[in-house]
């Protein structure tokens, strides 16, 4: 990049879909950064210092100034490294819509999928499945181009929704729960393929067998506790 924006550090964990978002945004922008892998069972003093409120990853530290919450970080990255690969639209209304859908993904879609896959109670799991399918149908209806960001552009909604593309096949493999099928959601299914095949995303995908192993262990622990 022509302009020097200083030092960028990212605290994440390999399996975190939230940390992936930040990595993908930084790499789409061509920002150089140093990555620190956290151990969430033994969080570093730096993580606690930088994110004392939530004590979670990701944390982006730019020239010594920390920022938490992946969607907030994505907007910061977009505004700071503004000249390359915009991830939010230009027009205020379109920007607001992009924020709306990113939050929908975190507030509705992700909790529903977690509930469907990883709740001990069968009735709750079924409810989670129903809510997940509803959320996926909403996204299927919203998707008008190849990507949520447009025909050729990966935007904030794609980055936020990215976990759908790489989690759901892993959940299917780990616990046998089929949510994202080509038959039910053809546009979203194709989006998942295109998104995970984008060179920057592909480079930043978690290792499939590790995610499957993690989900299997999580499922085993909830069914054992029942």
Ligand X SMILES: N[C@@H](CCC(=O)N[C@@H](CS)C(=O)NCC(=O)O)C(=O)O
Positions in the binding site for ligand X (CB under 6 A): 13, 16, 18, 40, 55-58, 69-71
Shortest distance, position 72 Cβ to ligand X, whole Å:
8
Least Å distance, CB 40 to ligand X, is 5
Omega prior to 58 cis, within 30 of 0: yes
Cα dist from 127 to 55, 122, 131, 135, whole Å: 30, 9, 6, 12
Nearer to ligand X, 115 or 189 (CB): 115
The residue (of 81 and 163) whose beta carbon lies closer to ligand X is 163
> What is the Cα–Cα distance from 12 to 27, expressed in whole angstroms?
15
The Cα–Cα gap between 170 and 213 comes to: 9
CB closer to ligand X out of 57 and 77 = 57
What is the DSSP annotation of 137-155? HHHHHH--SSBTTBSS---
Q: How far apart are CA 117 and CA 94, in angstroms?
A: 33
Alpha helices (H) along 40-181: 45-50, 70-80, 92-104, 110-118, 122-142, 156-175
Q: How far is the CB of 159 from ligand X (least distance, A)?
A: 11
Closest CB to ligand X among residues 106, 131? 106
Identify the three-state secondary structure at position 43. Answer: coil
For the bound state, the minimum distance from the C-beta of residue 58 to ligand X, rounded and expressed in Å, comes to 6
d(CA 209, CA 126) in angstroms, rounded, equals 26
- Nearest distance in Å: CB 208, ligand X: 17
Position closest to ligand X via CB = 56
For ligand X, the closer of residues 69 and 78 by Cβ is 69
Residue 133 or 212: the one with the smaller Cβ distance to ligand X is: 212
Nearer to ligand X (CB atom), residue 71 or residue 136: 71
3-state DSSP assignment of residue 60: strand
Smallest gap from Cβ 151 to ligand X, in A, equals 27
What's the helix, strand, coil split of the chain in %, to 5?
60, 10, 35
Work out how close the CB of 63 gets to ligand X at its nearest, in angstroms, rounded to a whole number: 20
């Amino acid at each position: 990049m022509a302009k020097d924006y200083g030092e960028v550090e990212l605290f994440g964990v390999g399996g975190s879909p939230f940390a992936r978002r930040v990595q993908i945004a930084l790499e789409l922008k061509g920002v150089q950064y140093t990555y620190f892998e956290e151990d969430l069972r033994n969080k570093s003093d730096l993580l606690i210092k930088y994110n004392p409120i939530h004590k979670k990853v990701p944390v982006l530290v730019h020239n010594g100034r920390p920022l938490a919450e992946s969607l907030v970080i994505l907007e910061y990255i977009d505004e700071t490294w503004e000249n390359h690969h915009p991830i939010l639209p230009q027009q205020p209304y379109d920007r607001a819509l992009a924020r709306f859908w990113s939050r929908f993904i975190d507030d509705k879609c992700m909790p529903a999928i977690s509930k469907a896959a990883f709740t001990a109670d069968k009735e709750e799991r079924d409810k989670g499945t129903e809510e997940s399918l509803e959320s996926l149908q909403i996204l299927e209806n919203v998707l008008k181009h190849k990507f949520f960001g447009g025909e050729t552009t990966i935007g904030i909604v794609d980055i936020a929704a990215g976990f759908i593309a790489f989690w759901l096949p892993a959940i299917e493999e780990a616990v046998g729960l089929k949510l994202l099928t080509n038959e039910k959601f053809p546009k979203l299914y194709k989006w998942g393929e295109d998104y995970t095949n984008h060179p920057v995303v592909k480079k930043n995908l978690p290792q499939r067998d590790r995610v499957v192993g993690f989900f299997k262990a999580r499922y085993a622990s909830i069914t054992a506790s029942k």
